[in-house]
Structure 1
Amino acid sequence: MTRFIHDQFSKDYLEELLKPYGKVQAPSRVAAEVREIDVLFSPFSTQTANLATLGLLGKMATTSAIFEPFRNPASKEEITDCLLKLLEVRNAIQREANRTKTPISAGEIPHLWVLTPTASETIISGFGASLKSDWVEGVYFLPEYLRTAIVVIHQLPCTQETLWLRILGRGRVQQRAIDELAALPANHPFQRVTLELLYSLQQNLRINQNIETDDRELVMRLAPLYQEDRERARQEGLQQGLQQGEQQLILRLLNRRFGEIDLSLIEQVQRLSIEQLEALGEQLLDFSEVADLAAWLNQQQETKNQ
């Protein structure tokens, strides 16, 4: 169960980082057996220079790309499935080119990036993957015409350039990346949105009773960071910003839990005070359906009117 929570976090995270620079489809369906691509990205031609902000991830996104992140080490079957998705996308592009009688440019066919925490030597050698001198340690390229690389996150050097990929690691690698993220200047363009996604991940993990050791440690690491973040905002007098951030977090959790919710309920949540939002954040863990949320909001309104 928690694997799917991490899968959704990875898709949301990559989408948030990449959407200022291009078109993101997450997930994107391809033909044949209706396989879903986790993140399909096409850069805006005017934004490629700005991708340097994302370091190694930005370098990967300078051309069309498919990102397939894995919480657990990707198996040979999973990597093969990713290759099938790439080939199906390539075939779709070829069919369209044949229909319109236009040539395919090299940049139209996406590059596949398989993001895995670890990978055995057997996996790397079995796919004929190898390092390149102009790329960092941990990025293994398959033969040229396959347009694919296996990115072993736990082998990446601990530098600013790799931070945005190491956030998708596990255990100590991920926790160190979170520490580095928290140390970034508050005005960094991606610090706030990443922290909010991590806080949402933390809340989703807390809902589950049976979670792995790595997940328990992640929840414990994020809890004080969230409290410090909230207290810092209070001390700086950023009550309005804090309230908006709390609203976004609560609405994100509600959407994850129940899907699309009625606009009237969203408006009621947006009118809650910061104290009520904090109370809702704890209470929603016990909600089983949208009706529970509506009843809770009505109770808050009745209390206010007394």
Structure 2
Amino acid sequence: MTRQPHDQFAKEYLEELLTSLGKVETSKDVKSEVREIDIWFVPNTSPSNTSELGLLAKMAATSCLFEPFRNAPSEVEIRSCLLKLYTVHGDLLRQAKREKRSLSEGELPCLWILTPSCSSRMLNGFGAKIQESENWVEGVYFLPKLLKGGIVAINQLPIVEDTLWLRVLGKGRTQKQAVEELVQLSEGSSKWDQLLEILASWRKNIEVRDNVSDEDRELIMNLSPAYLKQREEWRQEGLQEGRQEGEVTLLLRLLRRRFREITPDLEQRITSLSIPQLEALVDAQLDFSNLDDLVTWLSAQS
């Protein structure tokens, strides 16, 4: 069960981004003591357009687990993530054995731990190193090869568009700048509106909590650009809905005055009209002789 607002946000956010690349499962239970994987991802068999998601898409090129943290994880928390990974490996290998097929090392998923920061002591302790040979950017550290894991220190990622989607999951100035970049990116396209809504909802969820901490207040400030933009869109939608409701009410009043009875079916068809169509019908109904004219007019709008 997701207990923290950040956990729920991170799951919704990564699910929204990764869905175009493959199959995403959130809060997936694994056996042993029941342990829950935050994000379980399996890429599509056919190639997907990965250019927009940059570093995140590169990480999702193969099956993987994502474990995002709001605060830097402890040694115990990192080992717990590794235990989940190896439990999954065991399940997959047993399934392959039952189905009498082999499973190569490359088919086993890897683990990505997403943390806002990571100390040198922690990285050295787990043997995590930058892998320059495959052009991975600064901030991406790999555990020894056979452990099949990596740690992403979000505050160390370069401030470029390729890392934007991961920097949104950071803290402090890193997150604030990334949210501002995302808002600017969405100005010219509605493609990322769902992400903004997720960010705005996260801010609202934190704001209404009792005993908001200093860290929560910082987060509220970081998410404000997304919240303000989304709030304006919500406001415009509300105005639009209010205007449409007013147009429908006016039309039904006029039509009932002229023709007495408007059937539920006709009322439903009128209610589903757009505002420009409703405005056109206000004028057109002046020339109607009977309800058949109204039916003909509505049919022409389909």
Tell me, yes or no, if structure 1 residue 66 matches structure 2 residue 90.
no
Amino acid at match of 1:93: L
Residues 171-210 of structure 1: pairs in structure 2 closer than 5 A: 171-186=172-187, 188=189, 190-210=191-211
- Alpha-carbon distance change, 228 to 112 in structure 1, aligned in 2, over 3 angstroms: closer
Partner of 1:129: 128
SS at match of 2:130: coil
Aligned partners of 1:233 and 1:27: how far apart in 2?
29
Per-residue CA deviations over 1:111-132 (Å, capped at 9, x if unaligned) read 1000011111111011111001
TM-score, normalised to structure 1's length?
0.72
How far is 1:229 from its partner?
4.3
Aligned partners of 1:221 and 1:34: how far apart in 2?
34
Aligned partners of 2:231 and 2:205: how far apart in 1?
19
Contact 2:180 2:226 in 1 (8 A): no
Amino acid at match of 1:169: G
SS at match of 2:103: coil
Aligned partners of 1:46 and 1:239: how far apart in 2?
41
Contact 1:64 1:109 in 2 (8 A): yes
SS at match of 1:184: helix
Residues 51-90 of structure 1: pairs in structure 2 closer than 5 A: 51-90=50-89
How far is 1:67 from its partner?
0.1
Aligned partners of 1:238 and 1:113: how far apart in 2?
43
Partner of 1:226: 227
Aligned partners of 2:190 and 2:64: how far apart in 1?
22
Partner of 2:36: 36
Per-residue CA deviations over 1:229-279 (Å, capped at 9, x if unaligned) read 444687799936xx9xxxxxxxxxxxxxxxxxxxxxxxxxxx9xxxxxxxx
Partner of 2:159: 158
Contact 2:175 2:222 in 1 (8 A): no
Tell me, yes or no, if structure 1 residue 20 matches structure 2 residue 20.
yes
TM-score, normalised to structure 2's length?
0.73
Per-residue CA deviations over 1:71-102 (Å, capped at 9, x if unaligned) read 01011100000111110111111111111111
- Cα RMSD between the aligned structures? 2.5
- Alpha-carbon distance change, 216 to 99 in structure 1, aligned in 2, over 3 angstroms: same
Aligned partners of 2:14 and 2:189: how far apart in 1?
16
Amino acid at match of 2:176: Q
How far is 1:215 from its partner?
2.0
Tell me, yes or no, if structure 1 residue 94 matches structure 2 residue 93.
yes
Aligned partners of 1:131 and 1:227: how far apart in 2?
38
How far is 1:185 from its partner?
4.1
- Alpha-carbon distance change, 69 to 225 in structure 1, aligned in 2, over 3 angstroms: closer
**221-230 or 170-179, larger mean C-alpha shift:** 221-230
Per-residue CA deviations over 1:101-152 (Å, capped at 9, x if unaligned) read 1111344311100001111111101111100111000111001111100110
Partner of 2:5: 5
How far is 1:171 from its partner?
1.2
Contact 1:42 1:63 in 2 (8 A): yes
Partner of 1:239: 240
- Alpha-carbon distance change, 197 to 233 in structure 1, aligned in 2, over 3 angstroms: closer
Unpaired stretches in structure 1, ≥5 consecutive residues: 244-270, 272-306
How far is 1:21 from its partner?
1.7
SS at match of 1:27: strand
Tell me, yes or no, if structure 1 residue 119 matches structure 2 residue 79.
no
Contact 2:43 2:60 in 1 (8 A): yes
Amino acid at match of 2:174: V
- Alpha-carbon distance change, 26 to 225 in structure 1, aligned in 2, over 3 angstroms: closer
Contact 1:71 1:116 in 2 (8 A): yes
Per-residue CA deviations over 1:162-183 (Å, capped at 9, x if unaligned) read 0000000011111010010011
Size of the alignment, in residue pairs?
A: 240
**219-228 or 176-185, larger mean C-alpha shift:** 219-228
Contact 1:17 1:190 in 2 (8 A): no
**231-240 or 110-119, larger mean C-alpha shift:** 231-240
Identity %: 50
